[in-house]
C-alpha cells in the first residue's frame, strides 16, 4: 500500500475512523497530524464499539505503530484517560504509540476561554466542541504555546506554565470567567507526564526512516474539508488545516512522499455545530435521527443532516487532490424513495459550481438538485459491489463521478465486514 492521506471531504464525521481501521490492515503506521480531542472516530469490531479522540484509529490493529504528530493539539489528561480506557478493554498501548515532542498542549485555560467566548457570542456562536482547540492553536500561532516535549522537563514546564496561567487568568477575568488554578494544573499535568513521558519523541525522525524504508503510512485526517481554517466555511470552522496539506505540515513528511489522497464522504451530508449548510433537509434529518443515527461521537449532539452536495465534494477534491473516494453510510438511504443530489448553487440569479468564500453567501445559496430513484432494499449484507441493488450502484457511481474521483470503497454498515473494496 502506498503512503495515503485520508481526509474528510465534507464537514467531519464522514466515517474516517472506520475506513482507517479497514485500511490499516495494509499499512504499518497510522499518523494523526492535526486537530485534537474535538475528533471522535468510531470503530466497530466484532460488535464492540470504540470511539477514539486523540489516538490514531490504527491502535486497534496488532503490530501497527500509531503516531500523534506535531500538528496535533493534545490534552494530556484526556489522552491518559483514553490510553487507560483502551488498556482496560485489552488494547495494547505501549511501544506502538509515539507522540511528537513538538505537539502543542491544551490546558484548562484554553477550555475555559473556548467556553466563555462561545457563551459571549450568544446566537453567533460557532458551536465548538468546547475542548479548547481554538485557543490552543491561537497560542501556538502566537508563539506562547507549551509543547509535549516540555512535559519531560518539570522545572521548565512549571516556569512556562506559571507565566501562561498568569496571562490567561487576566484574560479570563476580563471576560468575566473564573480563573484556573495553576497549582492544580501543574500537579495534574506532571502526573499525566509520568504516563506519557515514554511515548514522547521526535516523530519526524521516526517517520523519515519509515519513508526511506518504504514502510506504508496512512495519515488519518480529523474533521473535514469545510471545517478547514483556510478552506472551510470560515468562521464556522475548526482551527487547523484539515485538508491534505495539513498531513504534511502536521507530521513533517514531505509532500512528494505522498502517493494517494483518499476522500471519505457520507452518501448524504451531516454537520454538527453552527454554520451554513446548503443541502440541509429537515425531513432527512428526522428520518436519520428516527433510525437512531447521526448523533455526535464526541459531544453526543444531534447532527444536522442533508442531501449529498457535489458542489462541496468537487471543491474538496480540488483542494485536497482527492484521487479516490470511500463512500460510507450508503445503507442510510436504503429506505428513501427519491434521493436528491446537489449539482449547483443558485445565488443572485446565477448558478455557480463552487462554494463562495463568505459564509453569508453560502447561506444564501439555494441548491440545484437532480433526483435519483432510491433502491428501497437493505444493502448492509452485501459483500461485493455486484451484490448491491443496481440503483444503489448507480448512485454510488454518480456521486463519485460528480466529485471527480475514482470510487474505491463503499461502506454499508459500521462493522469492518460491511466494507466493499472496488
Ligand atoms: P469520523 O469522525 O469521520 O470517524 O466519523 P464518526 O465516527 O464521528 O461518525 C461516523 C458514524 O457512522 C459512526 O457512528 C460510525 O460507526 C458510522 N458508520 C461509518 N460507516 C458506516 C456505514 O457505512 N453504515 C453505517 N450504518 N454506519 C457507519
Ligand atoms: P471528526 O474528526 C464534526 C466542529 C464543531 C464546530 C467546529 C469548531 O470526528 O470528524 P472546535 O471544537 O474544533 O473548535 O469546533 O468544528 N467539529 C467537528 N465536527 N466532526 C469533528 O471531528 C469535529 N471537530 C470539530 O462541531 O462546529
Ligand atoms: Mg467524528
Q: Nearest-CA neighbor of 389 among 314, 339, 322, 317?
A: 339
Binning pLDDT at 50, 70 and 90, where does residue 139 land? very high
228 is catalytic: no
Mean pLDDT of the 95-117 span: 98
Catalytic site includes residue 41:
yes
Position 297 pLDDT exceeds 90: no
Give residues with Cβ within 8 angstroms of 56, minimum separation 6: 20, 30, 31, 32, 66, 67, 68, 220
CATH architecture group of domain 4-101+200-261: 3-Layer(aba) Sandwich (3.40)
Report CA(107)–ligand 3 centroid distance (Å).
22
CATH number for the domain running over 266-421: 3.90.170.10
* pLDDT tens by residue, 150-182: 999 999 999 999 999 999 999 999 999 999 999
Ligand 1 atom, smallest distance to 328 CA:
23
Which ligand has the minimum distance to the alpha carbon of residue 118? 2
**Catalytic-role residue among 13, 21, 114, 309:** 13
What spacing in Å lies between the alpha carbon of 224 and ligand 1's midpoint?
14
| Nearest ligand 1 atom to alpha carbon 41 | 4
Measure 17 CA to ligand 3 centroid, in angstroms.
Answer: 8
What is the structure's pLDDT at 299? Answer: 83
Whether the full predicted model's pTM is greater than 0.85, yes or no, is yes
Q: What is the pLDDT of residue 390?
A: 98
Determine the pLDDT at residue 298.
82
DSSP letter string, 176-216: T-PPP-HHHHHHHHHHHHHHHGGGEE-HHHHHHHHHHTT--
What's the pLDDT score for residue 190? 98
Q: Dihedral of CA 172/187/201/17: which sign?
A: negative
Q: What residues does the ion ligand 3 have nearby, CB within 5 Å?
A: 13, 40, 297
- Mean pLDDT, to the nearest integer, of 215-220? 98
pLDDT surpassing 80 at residue 47: yes
Are the beta carbons of 408 and 322 closer than 8 angstroms?
Answer: no
Residue ranges of domains in the chain: 4-101+200-261, 104-196, 266-421
Ligand with smallest separation from the Cα of 238: 2
- Say if residues 112 and 87 touch (Cβ distance below 8 Å): no
- The rounded Å distance from CA 21 to ligand 1 centre is 12
Q: Assign 124 to helix, strand or coil.
A: helix
What residues contact residue 213 under an 8 Å CB cut-off, 6+ apart?
none
What DSSP string runs through 367-379? EEEEEEE---S--
Catalytic residue among 21, 41, 114, 309: 41
Mean pLDDT for the stretch of residues 376-397: 98
Kindly report the backbone phi and psi dihedral angles of residue 48, in degrees, each rounded to the nearest multiple of 5, phi listed first: -95, 130
Split at pLDDT 50, 70, 90, the class of 300 is confident
Q: Which CATH number fits domain 104-196: 1.10.300.10, 3.40.50.300, 3.40.190.10, 2.40.50.100?
A: 1.10.300.10
Q: What's the mean per-residue pLDDT of the chain?
A: 97
Amino acid at each position: 500500500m502506498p503512503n495515503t492521506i485520508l481526509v474528510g471531504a465534507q464537514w467531519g464525521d464522514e466515517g474516517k475512523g472506520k475506513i482507517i481501521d479497514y485500511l490499516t490492515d495494509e499499512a504499518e503506521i497510522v499518523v494523526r497530524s492535526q486537530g485534537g480531542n474535538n475528533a471522535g472516530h468510531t470503530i466497530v469490531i466484532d460488535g464492540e464499539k470504540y470511539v477514539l479522540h486523540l489516538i490514531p484509529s490504527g491502535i486497534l490493529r496488532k503490530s501497527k505503530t500509531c503516531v500523534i504528530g506535531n500538528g496535533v493539539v493534545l490534552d494530556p489528561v484526556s489522552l491518559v484517560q483514553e490510553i487507560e480506557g483502551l488498556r482496560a478493554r485489552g488494547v495494547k498501548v505501549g511501544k506502538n504509540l509515539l507522540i511528537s515532542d513538538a505537539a502543542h498542549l491544551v490546558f484548562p485555560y484554553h477550555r475555559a476561554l473556548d467556553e466563555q467566548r462561545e457563551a459571549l457570542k450568544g446566537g453567533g456562536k460557532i458551536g465548538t466542541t468546547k475542548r479548547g482547540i481554538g485557543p490552543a492553536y491561537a497560542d501556538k500561532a502566537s508563539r506562547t504555546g507549551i509543547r509535549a516535549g516540555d512535559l519531560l522537563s518539570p522545572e521548565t514546564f512549571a516556569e512556562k506554565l506559571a507565566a501562561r496561567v498568569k496571562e490567561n487568568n487576566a484574560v479570563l477575568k476580563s471576560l468575566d470567567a473564573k480563573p484556573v488554578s495553576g497549582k492544580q494544573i501543574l500537579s495534574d499535568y506532571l502526573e499525566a507526564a509520568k504516563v506519557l513521558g515514554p511515548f514522547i519523541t521526535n516523530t519526524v525522525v521516526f517517520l523519515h526512516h519509515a519513508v526511506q524504508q518504504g514502510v506504508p503510512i496512512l495519515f488519518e485526517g480529523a474533521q473535514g474539508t469545510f471545517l478547514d481554517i483556510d478552506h472551510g466555511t470560515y468562521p464556522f470552522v475548526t482551527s487547523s488545516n484539515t485538508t491534505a496539506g495539513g498531513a504534511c505540515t502536521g507530521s513533517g513528511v514531505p509532500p512528494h512522499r505522498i502517493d494517494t489522497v483518499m476522500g471519505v464522504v457520507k452518501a448524504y451530508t451531516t454537520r454538527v455545530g453552527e454554520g451554513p449548510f446548503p443541502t440541509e433537509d429537515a425531513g432527512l434529518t428526522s428520518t436519520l435521527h428516527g433510525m437512531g443515527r447521526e448523533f455526535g461521537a464526541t459531544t453526543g449532539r444531534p447532527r444536522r443532516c442533508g442531501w449529498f452536495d457535489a458542489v462541496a465534494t468537487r471543491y474538496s477534491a480540488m483542494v485536497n487532490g482527492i484521487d479516490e473516494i470511500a463512500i460510507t453510510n450508503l445503507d442510510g438511504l436504503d429506505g428513501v424513495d427519491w434521493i436528491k443530489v446537489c449539482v449547483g448553487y443558485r445565488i443572485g440569479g446565477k448558478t455557480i459550481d463552487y462554494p463562495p468564500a463568505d459564509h453569508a453567501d453560502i447561506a444564501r445559496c439555494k441548491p440545484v438538485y437532480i433526483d435519483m430513484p432510491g433502491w428501497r432494499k437493505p444493502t448492509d449484507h452485501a459483500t461485493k459491489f455486484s451484490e448491491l441493488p443496481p440503483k444503489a450502484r448507480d448512485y454510488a457511481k454518480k456521486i463519485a463521478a460528480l466529485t471527480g474521483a475514482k470510487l474505491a470503497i463503499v461502506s454499508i454498515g459500521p462493522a469492518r465486514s460491511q466494507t466493499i473494496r472496488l
